[in-house]
Amino acid sequence: MSENKIIDESKQGEVLLIAAPENANGKKLFLESYGCAMNFSDSEIVASILKDKGFTTTQDFTEADVIFVNTCAIREGAEQRVRKRLTDFKKAKKSNPDLIVGVLGCMAERLKSQFLEEEKLVDIVVGPDAYRSLPQLIEIAESGQKAVNVLLSKEETYADIAPVRLDSNGVSAFISITRGCDNMCSFCVVPFTRGRERSRNPETIVKEAQDLFEQGYREVTLLGQNVDSYLWTGGGLKKEVISEEELKNATTFAQLLEKVALVHPDLRVRFSTSHPKDMTDDVLYVIAKYENVCKYIHLPVQSGNSRILEMMNRGYSREWYIERINAIRRIIPDCAISTDTITGFCSETEEEHKDTLSLMEWVKYDFAYMFSYSERPKTLAERKYKDDVAEEVKKRRLQEVVDLQQKHSGERTREGLGKVHRVLAEKVSKKSDKHLSGRNSQNLTVVFPRENYKPGDYVNVLATECTSATLIGVVVK
Residue 23 pLDDT: 45
**What amino acid is encoded at 20 in this protein?**
A
Percentage of residues of the chain with pLDDT beyond 90:
65
Q: Give the CA distances from residue 367 to residues 208, 303, 370, 410, 449, in Å, rounded to whole numbers and listed in that order.
A: 29, 15, 10, 10, 25
Rounded to whole angstroms, how far apart are CA atoms 190 and 128?
A: 11
Q: Which of 122, 54, 56 is nearest to 92 (CA)?
A: 122
The answer to whether the beta carbons of residues 179 and 195 sit under 8 Å apart is: yes
Mean pLDDT of 433-458: 97
Rounded to whole angstroms, how far apart are CA atoms 434 and 429?
A: 8
21-44 per-position pLDDT tens digit: 444 547 888 888 887 888 888 888
Rounded to whole angstroms, how far apart are CA atoms 140 and 63?
A: 21
Q: Which of 145, 95, 90, 154 is nearest to 122 (CA)?
A: 90
Percentage of residues of the chain with pLDDT beyond 70:
92
**Cα–chain center distance at 304:** 23
Rounded to whole angstroms, how far apart are CA atoms 231 and 223?
A: 14
Residue 418 pLDDT: 98
364-388 per-position pLDDT tens digit: 999 999 999 999 888 999 999 999 9
Rounded to whole angstroms, how far apart are CA atoms 39 and 329?
A: 31
247-274 per-position pLDDT tens digit: 778 999 999 999 999 999 999 999 999 9
Residue 209 pLDDT: 97
Q: Which of 118, 42, 36, 38 is nearest to 83 (CA)?
A: 118
Strands 147-149 and 124-126: parallel
Residue 241 pLDDT: 64
Q: Which domains does the chain have, with CATH numbers?
A: 3-149 (3.40.50.2300), 172-414 (3.80.30.20), 420-475 (2.40.50)
84-131 per-position pLDDT tens digit: 888 888 888 888 889 999 999 888 777 777 777 656 788 999 999 999
Rounded to whole angstroms, how far apart are CA atoms 371 and 356?
A: 13
Rounded to whole angstroms, how far apart are CA atoms 8 and 305?
A: 29
**What amino acid is encoded at 371 in this protein?**
F
Rounded to whole angstroms, how far apart are CA atoms 372 and 377?
A: 16
Residue 239 pLDDT: 60
The answer to whether the beta carbons of residues 195 and 223 sit under 8 Å apart is: no
Rounded to whole angstroms, how far apart are CA atoms 241 and 396?
A: 46
Rounded to whole angstroms, how far apart are CA atoms 134 and 295?
A: 39
Mean pLDDT of 64-76: 85
Which neighbouring-strand residues pair with 104? 70, 126
pLDDT: which is higher, 439 or 12: 439
> Which residues fall within 8 angstroms of residue 115, CB to CB, at 6 or more apart?
86, 103, 107, 108, 121, 122, 125
What is the phi-psi region of residue 461: left when phi exceeds 0, alpha when psi lies from -120 to 50, beta otherwise?
Answer: beta
Rounded to whole angstroms, how far apart are CA atoms 422 and 461?
A: 6
Q: Is the peptide bond before 57 cis (omega within 30 degrees of 0)?
A: no
Q: Which DSSP string do the residues of 42-67 spell out, in sequence order?
A: HHHHHHHHHHTTT-EE-S-GGG-SEE
Residue 167 pLDDT: 58
Mean pLDDT of 148-153: 88
The answer to whether the beta carbons of residues 251 and 203 sit under 8 Å apart is: no
Q: In whole angstroms, how large is the CA radius of gyration of the chain?
A: 22
Residue 471 pLDDT: 98
Which neighbouring-strand residues pair with 66? 29, 100
Which neighbouring-strand residues pair with 447? 437, 472
Residue 15 pLDDT: 33
Q: Which of 152, 154, 153, 150 is nearest to 111 (CA)?
A: 150
Rounded to whole angstroms, how far apart are CA atoms 155 and 132?
A: 13
**Cα–chain center distance at 12:** 14
Kind and range of the H or E element at 252?
Answer: strand 251-252
Outline where 98-163 has alpha helix (H): 106-110, 112-113, 134-142
Question: Residue 190 pLDDT more than 50?
Answer: yes
Rounded to whole angstroms, how far apart are CA atoms 406 and 95?
A: 46
